[in-house]
Amino acid sequence: MSTPDAGLEMLRAQVVNIVLGTIFLSIGATACAIAAIRWRRGVRILVWWGIWSGMYGLQTLGQTPAVPAVLPHALKSAAPYVSTVVRYLLLVSALFAWRELTVGKLRFLIQLEILAGLAIALLGISTFVLGGSDDKWMFYNNLLAVISMVVLLAALLLPKFSRYLVIPNYRIFTAATIIFALEVMYTNFSSVLHYRVLPLVASLGFAALLFSLGYVALEMLFTNERRLLSIETELETAKKIQTSILPARVPEPENLRVAASYLPMTSVAGDFYQFVQSDDNHLGILVADVAGHGVPAALISTMIKVAMQSVTIFAHDPARVLGALNRILSSEAQGQFASAAYLWIDTKSRKALYSAAGHPPLLCWRNAKDEVERIESNGLLFGIRPDSEYPVCSVLVEPYDRLVLYTDGITETENATGEAFGDRQLERLLRNHRLQPAPEFSRQVLVELQRWRPVAANQEDDITLIVVDVL
């Protein structure tokens, strides 16, 4: 028979292994691609499943004589090294995949097996690279594989240990694991007992476990997707509720122009603001910043909104407003803290009263003096002591003055070097853009914050800005 005919006959005889190896390799690549596209914590099982499948496909192709024979010379010389690496690390990739299905003591035990597998792989690969046999440490690798299968079978079959598993479809995975365990023991004992393994046994046993594990991984992925979709729906509802508790529009009292900017970090936020307007000459402004972010902080801000309804009767007294809010928050939301500032403006008498609870200072642009004045009148944060007292500062407001209330989401925004935006930058904007109307100045501050923050960086805190111009 001629050389081309002999090569063709060899390919026909080994076509099954070539097809199976290609299928396993393709499945592994597809799984890793899906995980990369939909990456989040719950898809790690899909990643390790894909790596395991891909490595098994490489091993199957590498053990098929026809495949190395047709490789280019450069790849042919590297094939033995790749084959050795795959053989030793195949078990490690499987253990990583199984680890994602376990919790507690069983997870810890599998982690120990992973360390042992990595140590054996390091010794085996190093020995081969240094000129030794590629099988010198394979006996210990096979022994670890048998021990791992015994541990996994015990966890699947014994109720005492099954509580350490997090598997959506228990029966399918158990049946496939038993089939694979029998195949692993049969295959690994072959090297000890020196008998010939029947064709396709290893591939069929692996295929059974691979597809069952893939089924479990996809079911976990879809479960997580449904859970995330449900959470996103609930967050959207929460966002609508929180938006509804914020003022629908800014008030328009006599001789004042008010602008409000509100930029939550996530769907729901811990920042809150409210206006209290008794008539055209009086306006109360509350700004609060609950510690933390997301839903817990949003719940506390909603609580502040409800509590505020009960203190509007003495809206003219900032000390009583903050004191009452603090008592309610201390008793109803123990362990939660919030900063707040309350400003009461009387346009008729040209006087304002200001008090705060651990909040950034009130900034006031004094047009007559052409300077920025920082007004601080702070008591303790809400939630620390129910009997905290809040000092009040009296502030004269004159025509063309500007008052600015804000949360620390503005001043704590960092640039690429880690430098905070700070009070100085805000005061600089207040000085340089003093002629802009309140709404335009508010927008200008947000633009400057966007420029200050690195392009790839996300907003790290909720932002609230209230600007009041005295006309």
Element (H, E) at 140: helix 138-157
Banded pLDDT at 40 (limits 50, 70, 90) = low
Ranking 240-244, 252-256, 370-374, 447-451 by mean pLDDT, the lowest is 240-244
pLDDT for the residue 458: 80
Please check the confidence at residue 374 and state whether its pLDDT lies above 60.
yes
pLDDT for the residue 356: 96
**Residue that the structure tokens 């629908």 belong to:** 248
Model confidence pLDDT, tens digit, residues 124-175 = 999 988 888 888 898 899 889 888 888 888 887 887 777 777 776 567 777 8
Q: Is residue 241 part of a domain?
A: no
Model confidence pLDDT, tens digit, residues 275-330 = 999 888 999 999 999 887 777 777 888 888 888 888 889 899 999 999 999 998 88
Please check the confidence at residue 243 and state whether its pLDDT lies above 80.
no
pLDDT for the residue 1: 47
Q: Do residues 12 and 1 make contact, with C-beta atoms less than 8 angstroms apart? A: no
Q: Is residue 377 part of a domain?
A: yes
What letter would DSSP give residue 381?
P
Measured in whole angstroms, the distance separating CA 264 from the mean position of its chain's CA atoms is: 17
Mapped onto helix, strand or coil, the DSSP state of residue 280 is coil
Percentage of the residues of the chain whose pLDDT score is greater than 90: 34
**Residue that the structure tokens 């007559």 belong to:** 368
Strands 351-357 and 378-379, by their bridges, are parallel
pLDDT for the residue 236: 74
**How far apart are alpha carbons 198 and 154 in whole angstroms?**
27
CA-wise closest residue to 273 among 256, 291, 257, 261: 261
Could you list the residue range(s) of the whole structural domain that residue 59 is in? 3-233
Q: Do residues 276 and 312 make contact, with C-beta atoms less than 8 angstroms apart? A: yes
Identify whether residues 202 and 312 lie together within a single domain.
no
Identify whether residues 264 and 137 lie together within a single domain.
no
Identify whether residues 95 and 15 lie together within a single domain.
yes
Identify whether residues 32 and 174 lie together within a single domain.
yes
Tokens found for residue 127: 């020995």
Q: Do residues 426 and 411 make contact, with C-beta atoms less than 8 angstroms apart? A: yes
**How far apart are alpha carbons 143 and 105 in whole angstroms?**
21
Q: Do residues 300 and 338 make contact, with C-beta atoms less than 8 angstroms apart? A: yes
Measured in whole angstroms, the distance separating CA 335 from the mean position of its chain's CA atoms is: 24
Identify whether residues 250 and 224 lie together within a single domain.
no
Structurally, the chain folds into a number of domains equal to 2
Q: Of 233, 268, 287, which residue sits at a domain end?
A: 233
pLDDT for the residue 362: 95
Element (H, E) at 30: helix 15-37
On the CB side of 448, CA atoms within 13 Å amount to: 19
Model confidence pLDDT, tens digit, residues 401-436 = 999 999 999 999 998 888 999 988 999 999 999 899
Provide the CATH number for the domain around residue 56.
Answer: 1.20.1070
Identify whether residues 169 and 251 lie together within a single domain.
no
Q: Of 168, 202, 233, which residue sits at a domain end?
A: 233
Of residues 376 and 335, the one with the higher pLDDT is: 376
Element (H, E) at 395: strand 393-396
Q: Is residue 381 part of a domain?
A: yes
CA dihedral 80, 82, 87, 90 (to 10 degrees): -170
For residue 234, how many other CB atoms are within 10 A of its CB? 13
Identify whether residues 251 and 226 lie together within a single domain.
no
Ranking 189-193, 231-235, 340-344 by mean pLDDT, the lowest is 189-193
Buried/exposed code over 261-280 (b: 16+ C-beta within 10 A; e: otherwise): bbbbbbbbbbbbbbbbbeee
Q: Of 205, 233, 261, which residue sits at a domain end?
A: 233
As a whole number, the mean pLDDT across the chain is: 83
Q: Helices 318-332 and 294-309 meet at what angle, rounded to 10? A: 130
Identify whether residues 257 and 379 lie together within a single domain.
yes
Identify whether residues 13 and 76 lie together within a single domain.
yes
Mean pLDDT, range 86-95, rounded to an integer: 89
